[in-house]
Structure 1
């Protein structure tokens, strides 16, 4: 999970890094991203397994999945 709240577009340029994106793309487990605001797109978002529109959306998804697993037990 890679999350970072919104801010100035220039604050998100670190997520447009080739080496970071290459590592995310080759990571053996699914990588979820929630970087910036809904309007923000980064290279890391493009190569991630799943891109969520915000960090809050990532958290909501993970909580929902965890609760579903707990309910099945």
Structure 2
């Protein structure tokens, strides 16, 4: 597994609905994380952006040392569980 780094990642819909507001986090190699929060707070959107299923509005997502903002999901070599 590789590290995952999010640097000020944002997602805005329709130009004015901010679903994810500047999230920055470092997830270490082998680290287990859980995202919790109320419905509509951006948990699934954040996971979808990491997986490449959702484009980001701004910021940077790195897997290992590679910036993957424009990398297709199939080429990110990552798997997640959405429940």
TM-score (norm 1): 0.31
Q: Indicate the structure (1 or 2) with the bigger Cα radius of gyration.
A: 1
Q: What is the TM-score of this pair, normalised by structure 2?
A: 0.29
More strand by share: 2
